[in-house]
Amino acid sequence: MNVELITIGDELLLGFTIDTNAAHLARSLASIGVSIGRRATVGDDASEIALAVREAFDRTGAVITTGGLGPTSDDRTRPAIAELFGRDLVPDEERWEALRALWRERGRGEIPLSNRGQIMIPRGATVLTNRHGTAPGIWLEDERGRWCAMLPGVPREMRGMLADELLPRLQGRFGTGSTVVRSRTIRTTGIAESKLAEVLGTLASGVDGLSLAYLPGQEGVDLRLTSRDRSAIDADQALDTAAAQLRDRVSRYAYGEDGTDLASAVLEACEARNLHVAVAESCTGGLLGARLTAIPGSSAVVLGGVIAYSNEVKRELLDVRQETLDAYGAVSEQVATEMAAGVRRLVGAHIGMSITGVAGPSGGTADKPVGLVWIGVDVEGTVRTHGSRFIGDRAEIRFRSTQAALDILRRMLGSDAGVR
């Protein structure tokens, strides 16, 4: 079951609004086995709207629109699509009375006549009730069973109407015996996309009819398996099996599934072993601590730490020795080691994590270029250090540094590492 989605609005086309409705709709529809074959965005222009709907209609006969249903003059979806279907617009007086009552009830006085646009319904259409706003949605169907559902553009109203009205209608229409689109994501870090494909070998282009997508980002590369054209039960089973196969191949790099944050995986590993964490951050300036404490319940693991942006703070609070700073510089394996040990002692934690680097854009030298970062992780005296040269801008270098630090700790706590 394939539909096309048309999102309508000048603000979308001009880029003032980011289209979050489209993603929400896609995921909601996938959950009942409906997939979006194509999506288009057009401005508040009646002929553009009509043209896009007609094209989509010719391809699939199943179209969902969002936006352009409000009372103002730039809301043109209703008349444009009514004309396309050859239907005139008739006022729904009952709805008008209800709107009038609502305005009075809310102490807003008499409703302006300009709102009557909202109650003009194409002849023969079914109204989709809007429980979160005033503009009703519309379901329009022709004699051949082709249909167009018009939803509002305000995300809260769209989501409510989708859940309350459109999803049940589509489910009723197409039964539940049909197939679904389901996905499973395996999150990896510390390995490049092309290298990952190599490690996956024969699994690299998919498993058992499931497609495999590589989604590189700041946090690493996500591997997303997608099942189409199977029932919900078959899809889940196939995804379980395939995900296990993939995890087997990339176990060194995989830290979680779907929405899991690496910080959360690390906190769990620490909590399971009753280990407390302290952080010492130079170039990341608190970002590692912020990521860890973003996770609810992190106070069971994180005690605190030191933002050691200046060398004085490194020396005075973290006991980094002046000789070490002089001999190797603040961005060095040696200083990272002393910072990690220092914060562990200072805070009285089992684990000290340190980051020191050149986040840029300036401050780089031939010897210590922008992107060079040293990380130290001290787990009860066992120390691992890691030097990287990260690419990207300041924000990326900082984020990737925290990701690498978390990954080092994850590996140290892994079953293969022998720490506890």
Question: Cα separation of 165 and 249, whole Å?
Answer: 44
Binding of residue 167 to its own copies (CB under 8 A): no
Nearest CB to its own copies, comparing residues 304 and 329 = 304
Residue 48: CB minimum distance to its own copies, A: 7
Question: Cα separation of 219 and 188, whole Å?
Answer: 8
Alpha carbon 264 to its chain centroid, in Å, reads: 16
Closest-CA residue to 97 (of 88, 110, 108, 106):
110
Tell which one of 298, 332, 334, 403 touches its own copies (CB under 8 A).
Answer: 298
Considering only residues 60 to 89 of the shown chain, the ones binding its own copies according to CB under 8 A are: 70-74
Nearest CB to its own copies, comparing residues 20 and 145 = 20
In this structure, are residues 360 and 394 in contact, taking their beta carbons and an 8 Å threshold?
yes
Question: Cα separation of 48 and 404, whole Å?
Answer: 48
Nearest CB to its own copies, comparing residues 124 and 209 = 209
Question: Cα separation of 138 and 354, whole Å?
Answer: 57
Give, in order, the Cα–Cα distances in Å from 406 to each of 7, 132, 152, 413: 40, 42, 43, 11
Considering only residues 122 to 151 of the shown chain, the ones binding its own copies according to CB under 8 A are: 132
Q: Which two tokens stand for residue 168?
A: 């049940």
Residue 172: CB minimum distance to its own copies, A: 23
Binding piece for its own copies, criterion CB under 8 A, among 17-25, 78-86, 169-177, 320-328: 17-25
Binding of residue 385 to its own copies (CB under 8 A): no
CA torsion sign for 305, 311, 312, 314 is positive
In this structure, are residues 61 and 147 in contact, taking their beta carbons and an 8 Å threshold?
yes
Binding of residue 408 to its own copies (CB under 8 A): no
Tell which one of 54, 100, 156, 173 touches its own copies (CB under 8 A).
Answer: 156
Binding of residue 292 to its own copies (CB under 8 A): yes
Nearest CB to its own copies, comparing residues 20 and 382 = 20
Total of residues contacting its own copies (CB under 8 A): 108
Residue 17, Cβ density class (10 Å: 0-12 exposed, 13-18 middle, ≥19 buried): middle
Binding of residue 209 to its own copies (CB under 8 A): no
Give the type of residue at 194.
S
Binding of residue 299 to its own copies (CB under 8 A): yes
- Beta-bridge mates of residue 101: none
Binding of residue 244 to its own copies (CB under 8 A): no
Binding of residue 347 to its own copies (CB under 8 A): yes
DSSP state of 210: B
Nearest CB to its own copies, comparing residues 124 and 348 = 348
Considering only residues 354 to 373 of the shown chain, the ones binding its own copies according to CB under 8 A are: 360-362
Tell which one of 58, 86, 94, 106 touches its own copies (CB under 8 A).
Answer: 106
Binding piece for its own copies, criterion CB under 8 A, among 85-93, 169-177, 191-199, 229-237: 191-199
Residue 7: CB minimum distance to its own copies, A: 9
Binding of residue 197 to its own copies (CB under 8 A): yes
Concatenating the DSSP letter of every residue in 11-49 gives HHHTTSS--HHHHHHHHHHHTTT-EEEEEEEE-S-HHHH
Nearest CB to its own copies, comparing residues 107 and 177 = 107
Tell which one of 187, 398, 400, 410 touches its own copies (CB under 8 A).
Answer: 398
Residue 238: CB minimum distance to its own copies, A: 17
Give, in order, the Cα–Cα distances in Å from 320 to each of 280, 288, 368, 378: 11, 20, 19, 15
Nearest CB to its own copies, comparing residues 63 and 279 = 279
Output phi, psi for 181, to 5 deg.
-110, 120
